[in-house]
């Protein structure tokens, strides 16, 4: 690690001297389960578990070995061992991957044997943290690994892979160096010029800063699309009892997930399911019908429905096309006026004069879609209507998208520091003051890729990783 002191701040991580071990595959029965060791003792620990095997493991070669319990010499599994010699490994340290048969008891036993040989159980994201510390990847790339593992759709996986291959860091690099150039000019002005900056120089600097602010702002703006692709939308399905919410819920998912009856008040608890529309993850929530009731359980359900409504990105208010609009319907529609919502007119397969109903809704909620949860009619239109207001051009243009709220926050802060500096420049404030903001901006940008991230921030970021990664 000392040979590669890319991020000196991370060297204070004391526990990096330990050799760590973790299961790299999910717990539970599987074809194979991979145990990963990283650190100075990775190879010697492996040797002690494979005493009869070739004592020499050539790097990047797969060896079929018998795994032994070192104390009893009992064979516990046949496994494939692959050794990656430092620094040519994921973490930059000596790494050994042991592919065992995927029995949870066996895998637990092998890990215990590693622990007995003085390895320590890895913490969340510790392998990636070591890779970061050893300059194998930068912070944005490390976070991309987590995002790739957590991706729920192909689109968000694709964005994570782009970030992992350095696209984001690459985009930020010229911005950081241009910012640094401007800082250097102002700093030398501070040293050599007694009076204010010459008018022409101030104008050039202002131009360069505006350009930087625009660039940073444009990258930050892709977060709208990036967040959509990554987190998707929370869509709440609400309405009075029996209008067909649970039926629509099932129809959208294509499975009989929720109980459907003609008894009002059947759905008392909420059901969540995920699916995607145009690669956008949708979390659909079926709620208890909203009505006045004396039933204790239903009251709790109704309260939950109201909370879910408030938290949702989009509310689907369902009304029944086969009946006249009721006061309850009107009340529910009135309550979502401040929120993005769609009025879903259900049961269009039943004969009814719906014109009156629609003109009444139309006054307040121009967004309505006609469906029949029973026949499936109108479902495609509804799906389109759900994602349409949220889709931005960025989703489809195939550019790089900022998907992480932390990155977005830092970009916004950097842009606002730069804008602020431009204002100060206009007011002929002294370079010293202007420089403070620009240094802040540079530090914020550096926190994205990790050069200026503190240990405390890293601990928080890596706590969101899974164990074994």
Ligand X SMILES: Nc1nc2c(ncn2[C@@H]2O[C@H](COP(=O)(O)OP(=O)(O)O)[C@@H](O)[C@H]2O)c(=O)[nH]1
- Look at residue 178 and give the partner it binds from Mg ion, ligand X, none, a contact being a CB closer than 5 to 8 Å depending on partner kind: none
Binding residues with ligand X: total (CB under 6 A): 21
User: Can you tell me whether residue 138 is helix, strand or coil?
Assistant: coil
- Residue 267 near ligand X by CB under 6 A: yes
Which x/- pattern, by CB under 6 A, does the window 221-260 give for ligand X?
Answer: ------------------x-xxxxxxx------------x
- Residue 94 near Mg ion by CB under 5 A: no
Distance set, CA 24 to CA 33, 125, 156 (Å): 7, 11, 22
- Residue 449 near ligand X by CB under 6 A: no
With CB under 5 A as the contact rule, the residue among 94, 246, 305, 449 that binds Mg ion is 246
In sequence order, the 6+-apart residues with CB closer than 8 A to the CB of 199 are: none
Residue at token pair 């967004």 = 367
Least distance to Mg ion, CB of residue 156, Å: 31
CA distance 51 to 65: 9
Reference 163, options 448, 412, 467; nearest CA is: 448
65 forms bridges with which residues in the sheet? 79
User: Which lies closer to ligand X via its Cβ, residue 123 or residue 349?
Assistant: 349
Reference 141, options 449, 406, 380, 401; nearest CA is: 449
By Cβ distance, which residue is nearest to ligand X? 244
Least distance to ligand X, CB of residue 316, Å: 11
Q: Is 396 within 8 Å of 387 (Cβ atoms)?
A: no
With CB under 5 A as the contact rule, the residue among 159, 215, 267, 420 that binds Mg ion is 267
Reference 115, options 33, 17, 39, 20; nearest CA is: 20
Q: Is the peptide bond before 87 cis (omega within 30 degrees of 0)?
A: yes
* Count of other CB atoms within 10 angstroms of residue 389: 13
In sequence order, the 6+-apart residues with CB closer than 8 A to the CB of 363 are: none
- Look at residue 261 and give the partner it binds from ligand X, Mg ion, none, a contact being a CB closer than 5 to 8 Å depending on partner kind: ligand X
User: Which lies closer to ligand X via its Cβ, residue 378 or residue 437?
Assistant: 378
Helix (H) or strand (E) holding 341: strand 341-346
- Per CB under 6 A, which of residues 318..357 are in contact with ligand X? 346-347, 349-350
With CB under 6 A as the contact rule, the residue among 46, 82, 222, 372 that binds ligand X is 372
Which x/- pattern, by CB under 6 A, does the window 71-100 give for ligand X?
Answer: ------------------------------
Give the residues lining the site for ligand X (CB under 6 A). Answer: 239, 241-247, 260-262, 266-267, 289, 346-347, 349-350, 372-374
Which residues contribute to the site for Mg ion (CB under 5 A)?
245-246, 267
């Amino acid at each position: 690690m000392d040979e590669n002191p890319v991020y000196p701040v991370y060297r204070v991580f004391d526990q990096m001297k330990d050799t760590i071990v973790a299961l790299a595959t999910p717990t539970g029965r599987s074809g194979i389960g991979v145990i990963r060791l990283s650190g100075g003792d990775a190879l010697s620990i492996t040797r002690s578990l494979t005493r009869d095997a070739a004592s020499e493991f050539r790097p990047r070669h797969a060896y079929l070995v018998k795994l032994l319990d070192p104390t009893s010499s009992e064979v516990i599994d046949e496994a494939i061992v692959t050794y990656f010699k430092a620094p040519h490994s994921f973490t930059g340290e000596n790494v050994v991957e042991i592919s065992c048969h995927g029995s949870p008891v066996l895998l637990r036993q092998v890990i215990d044997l590693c622990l007995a040989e003085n390895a320590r159980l890895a913490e969340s994201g510790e392998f990636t943290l070591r890779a970061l510390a050893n300059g194998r990847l930068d912070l944005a790339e490390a976070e991309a690994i987590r995002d790739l593992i957590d991706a729920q759709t192909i689109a968000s996986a694709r964005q994570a892979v782009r970030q992992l291959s350095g696209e984001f860091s690459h985009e930020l690099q010229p911005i950081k160096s241009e910012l640094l150039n401007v800082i250097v000019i102002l700093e030398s002005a501070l040293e050599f010029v007694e009076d204010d900056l010459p008018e022409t120089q101030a104008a050039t600097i202002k131009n360069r800063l505006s350009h930087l602010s625009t660039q940073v702002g444009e990258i930050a703006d892709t977060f709208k699309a990036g967040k959509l692709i990554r987190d998707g939308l929370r869509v709440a399905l609400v309405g009075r009892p029996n209008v067909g919410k649970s039926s629509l819920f099932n129809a959208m998912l294509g499975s009989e997930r929720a109980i459907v009856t003609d008894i009002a008040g059947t759905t008392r608890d909420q059901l969540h399911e995920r699916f995607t529309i145009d690669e956008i993850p949708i979390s659909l929530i079926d709620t208890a019908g909203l009505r006045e009731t004396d039933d204790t359980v239903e009251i709790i359900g109704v309260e939950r429905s109201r909370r879910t409504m408030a938290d949702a990105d989009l509310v689907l208010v369902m009304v029944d096309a086969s009946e006249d609009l009721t006061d309850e319907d009107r009340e529910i529609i009135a309550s979502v006026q401040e929120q993005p919502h769609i009025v879903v007119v259900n049961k269009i397969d039943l004969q009814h004069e719906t014109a009156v109903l629609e003109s009444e809704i139309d006054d307040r909620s121009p967004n309505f879609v006609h469906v029949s949860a029973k026949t499936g009619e109108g479902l495609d239109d509804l799906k389109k209507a759900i994602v349409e207001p949220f889709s931005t051009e960025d989703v489809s243009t195939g550019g790089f998208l900022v998907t992480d709220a932390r990155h977005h926050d830092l970009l916004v802060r950097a842009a606002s520091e730069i804008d602020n500096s431009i204002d100060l420049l206009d007011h002929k404030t002294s370079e010293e003051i202007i420089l403070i903001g620009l240094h802040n901006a540079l530090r914020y940008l550096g926190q994205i890729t990790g050069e200026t991230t503190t240990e405390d921030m890293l601990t928080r970021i890596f706590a969101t990783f899974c164990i074994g990664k």
